[in-house]
Amino acid sequence: MDDNSSRYDHRQRDSSTTTVELRNFIIDTTGATPVLTGLVVANENTVGRLPLFDLVLPEGITLPLQPKGSMKSLTLSGVSLKLTAGAAEALNGAFNVTAFAEGLPIGTAKVRAFGLKKKK
């Protein structure tokens, strides 16, 4: 996702006249469970930033995450994405379906983060 946005095939979901686009993802690790939020745009109208996916970290990985090396980088493979209750409700409402449910497995992601070296 080079442009930090997503559409259904990892980018966009269309249903006759309804379009939902996800953009500008942020991973929040400050709570008990990490969550991926995104800016939601429905039919070209900005809905807002919503929690989209709960993240299930690979076995043996715990919070807080600790960047390593001089570049303070972090790479995690095999992070599972599961639909949040709010995202499921919003999708069901947008497309007038009942197919989406909290915890629905969406797939896995490779997460890369880079930080700045702390000044002394």
Tell me: the pLDDT tens digits for 1-43? 344 444 433 344 544 678 889 999 999 988 888 999 999 988 8
CB 81 within 8 A of CB 108: yes
CB 91 within 8 A of CB 20: yes
CB 94 within 8 A of CB 101: no
β pairing state of 5-8 and 11-15: parallel
Q: pLDDT for 67-108, tens place per residue? A: 777 767 888 899 999 999 999 998 888 888 999 999 999 999
Domain boundaries, the chain: 5-114
Beta bridge partners of 55: 81
Report pTM.
Answer: 0.76
pLDDT at position 120, please?
Answer: 60
- 63 residue type, one letter: L
CA–CA separation, 73 and 59 (whole Å)? 20
57: DSSP letter: P
CA–CA separation, 55 and 52 (whole Å)? 10
64: DSSP letter: S
**Phi, psi for 88 (deg, rounded to 5):** -60, -45
Please say if the pLDDT value at position 114 is more than 90: no
The arithmetic mean of pLDDT across residues 47-53, rounded, is 94
The arithmetic mean of pLDDT across residues 41-70, rounded, is 87
pLDDT at position 82, please?
Answer: 98
